[in-house]
């Protein structure tokens, strides 16, 4: 049985410690024991507990004094007092000090379990509300980065090192790995969080003919339709940070202007003649190989080196499966709050194994949507296998798709000469059609399966005239 929480029992009577350990452990809790208040305080200083059962009458510093010391260590600690002398005065004193509840000896097993469960539920509810307030305050900053794998610990170290600097940062990784979340963490961990805004721009979502106007602004009459002057996003981000996602998609002329901003710390709005000085930190991200784009002539080499001063690479979720459980638990708590649900974040072994065996082509973003769906459709208070999508339950079907692609590639006779771009287009059409079939024509879901954004998929559907 999955552990429901960590409990510390502090009682000087061995038989009482044994009884409480038996009751709690049989119900799925992990239990530690302490004979005195001093020993209990020592254990609490070494690790966190979801609740503490504390005898009032003990040798040494006693129960009420121990309660005071526990609350000094953790003011949100759930402490349940247990006593054979549960007088009104004792209960009042314990509550005034901050105890969650008092239980009188002799007690019923169910009474102990209900009190402990209620205490843990209150603590976790308080923690979730604090996380929500912090998340809203910092606009999904570093509190949203979850993972304990070695790869993610390297990411945390890099964020800590680069946050105070003003240098540019390039974040690389597949779609859905959390590049914007990391960019927010860099900004909100830096002094710029106090002096300026964080502005996120998805370069691929803005038509190329409008991108320069969005980034640098324009004067009235600068072009047809410019009926009023507009401030650019670089000016909006002055003093703060600008996040340029999918940087590889920006056209050559915009690349040249961006290079000037990095080098000179100034830009000129469209239609204007006077440069505007700005102090903006640029954080860029891409899911493509920029070095390959440089070699092919699609991306400026000088701009690449200016952006790639610090590189933070986010590994795909399939390469850090130990992060799946903490990520899933994080999303369960998040969508519990958003949907006013009380789903347990303890996953059954079968559910966890299924999540860990799935390849997650859409990475963390796909896992989040899967958990959001599970929280909403679950009938009880636990996520079971029926809450998961069919493709997650049957990941082997993806291997078949991969084999089909390999066979199609093998059927092409390159020795006779081919049109490379025609063949690439053919495979793009095939993959898009397959994704749309799997998702029942749902473009947003198909885009996630393919690891691309909705705008790119919609554009390709139109270009290839694919019927949805």
Give the end-to-end CA distance of the chain in Å, rounded to a whole number: 46
Residue 133 has pLDDT above 50, yes or no: no
Residue 424 has pLDDT above 90, yes or no: no
14 or 121, greater pLDDT: 14
CB 115 within 8 A of CB 80: yes
Residue 402 has pLDDT above 50, yes or no: no
Provide the token pair at 364. Answer: 């963390």
Q: Which of 257, 365, 260, 384 lies closest to 317 in space, CA to CA?
A: 365
Tell me, what's the pLDDT at 129? 58
> 312's torsion region: left (phi>0), alpha (psi -120 to 50) or beta?
beta
CB 31 within 8 A of CB 20: yes
Tell me, what's the pLDDT at 307? 94
Alpha carbon separation from 364 to 320, 326, 370, 445, 454 (Å, rounded): 11, 11, 10, 14, 17
Most confident of 207-221, 362-376, 451-465: 362-376
* Span 444-467, average pLDDT: 79
Tell me, what's the pLDDT at 138? 42
Look over the chain and give the mean of its residue pLDDT values, rounded to a whole number. 84
* Span 407-426, average pLDDT: 62
Residue 145 has pLDDT above 70, yes or no: yes
Residue 135 has pLDDT above 60, yes or no: no
Whole-angstrom distance, CA of residue 429 vs CA of residue 434: 9
Question: What element of type H or E holds 284?
Answer: strand 281-286
Residue 77 has pLDDT above 80, yes or no: yes
Alpha carbon separation from 294 to 171, 289, 312, 362 (Å, rounded): 17, 9, 19, 26
Provide the token pair at 459. Answer: 């554009």
Tell me, what's the pLDDT at 411? 58
Helix (H, G, I), strand (E, B) or coil at 449: helix
Q: What angle do CA 457, 463, 468 make, to 5 degrees?
A: 60
Whole-angstrom distance, CA of residue 402 vs CA of residue 146: 30
Q: What is the phi/psi pair of residue 104, to 5°? A: -95, 140
Tell me, what's the pLDDT at 140? 39
**How many C-alpha atoms does 375 have within 13 Å on its Cβ side?**
25
Residue 128 has pLDDT above 60, yes or no: no
Tell me, what's the pLDDT at 139? 39
Q: Determine what percent of the chain is predicted with pLDDT higher than 90.
A: 33
Count, residues in the chain = 468
Residue 419: which pLDDT band, with cuts at 50, 70 and 90? low
Whole-angstrom distance, CA of residue 263 vs CA of residue 190: 21
Tell me, what's the pLDDT at 137? 43
135 or 243, greater pLDDT: 243
Residue 135: CB atoms within 10 A of its CB come to 15
Tell me, what's the pLDDT at 229? 76
Most confident of 207-221, 349-363, 427-441: 349-363
Hey, what domains does the chain have and what are their CATH numbers? 6-135 (3.40.50.2300), 142-315 (3.40.50.300), 318-393 (1.10.8.60), 403-463 (1.10.10.60)
* Span 61-90, average pLDDT: 82
* Span 219-240, average pLDDT: 82
Q: Which of 15, 114, 27 lies closest to 55 in space, CA to CA?
A: 15
* Span 319-345, average pLDDT: 90
Q: What is the phi/psi pair of residue 180, to 5°? A: -70, -35
pLDDT in tens, 280-328: 999 999 998 899 889 989 899 999 999 999 999 999 999 999 999 999 9
Helices (H), 297-442: 301-307, 324-339, 349-357, 363-377, 390-393, 396-410, 420-438
Residue 80 has pLDDT above 70, yes or no: yes
Tell me, what's the pLDDT at 439? 79
Provide the token pair at 294. Answer: 């440089």
Residue 1 has pLDDT above 50, yes or no: no
Residue 66: which pLDDT band, with cuts at 50, 70 and 90? very high
């Amino acid at each position: 049985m999955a552990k429901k929480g960590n409990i510390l029992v502090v009682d000087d009577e061995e038989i009482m410690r044994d009884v409480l350990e038996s009751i709690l452990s049989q119900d799925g809790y992990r239990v530690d024991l302490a004979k005195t208040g001093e020993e209990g305080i020592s254990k609490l200083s070494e690790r966190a507990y979801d609740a503490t059962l504390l005898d009032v009458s003990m040798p040494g510093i006693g129960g009420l004094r121990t309660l005071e010391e526990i609350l000094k260590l953790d003011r949100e600690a759930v402490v349940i007092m247990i006593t054979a002398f549960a007088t009104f005065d004792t209960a009042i004193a314990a509550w005034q000090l901050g105890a969650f509840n008092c239980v009188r000896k002799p007690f019923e097993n169910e009474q102990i379990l209900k009190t402990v469960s209620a205490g843990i539920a209150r603590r976790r509810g308080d923690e979730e509300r604090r996380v929500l307030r912090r998340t809203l305050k910092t606009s999904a900053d570093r509190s949203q980065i979850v993972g304990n794998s070695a790869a993610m610990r390297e990411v945390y170290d890099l964020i800590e090192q680069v946050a105070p600097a003003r240098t540019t940062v390039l974040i690389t990784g597949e779609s859905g790995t959390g590049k914007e979340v990391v960019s927010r963490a860099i900004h909100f961990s830096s002094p710029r969080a106090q002096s300026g805004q964080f502005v996120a721009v998805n370069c691929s979502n803005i038509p190329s003919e409008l991108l320069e106007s969005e980034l640098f602004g324009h004067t009235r009459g600068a072009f047809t339709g410019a009926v009023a002057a507009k401030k650019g996003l670089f000016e909006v981000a002055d003093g703060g940070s600008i996040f340029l996602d999918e940087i590889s998609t920006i056209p050559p002329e915009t690349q040249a202007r961006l290079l000037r901003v990095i080098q000179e710390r100034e830009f000129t709005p469209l239609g204007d003649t006077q440069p505007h000085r700005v102090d903006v930190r640029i954080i860029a991200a891409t899911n493509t190989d920029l070095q390959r784009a440089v070699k092919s002539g699609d991306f400026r080499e000088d701009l690449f080196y200016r952006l790639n001063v610090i590189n933070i690479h986010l590994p795909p979720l399939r390469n850090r499966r130990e992060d799946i459980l903490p990520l899933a638990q994080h999303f369960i708590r998040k969508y519990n709050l958003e949907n006013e649900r009380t789903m347990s974040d303890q996953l059954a072994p079968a559910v966890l194994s299924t999540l860990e065996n799935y390849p997650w082509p859409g990475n963390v973003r796909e896992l989040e949507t899967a958990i959001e769906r599970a929280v909403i459709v679950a009938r009880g208070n636990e996520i079971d296998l029926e809450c998961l999508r069919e493709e997650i339950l049957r990941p082997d079907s993806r291997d078949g798709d991969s084999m089909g692609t390999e066979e199609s590639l093998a059927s092409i006779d390159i020795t006779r000469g081919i049109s490379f771009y025609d063949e690439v287009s053919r495979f793009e059409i095939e993959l898009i059609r397959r994704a749309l079939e799997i998702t029942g024509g749902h473009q947003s879901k198909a885009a996630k399966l393919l690891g691309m954004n909705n705008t790119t998929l919609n554009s390709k559907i139109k270009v290839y005239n694919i019927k949805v």
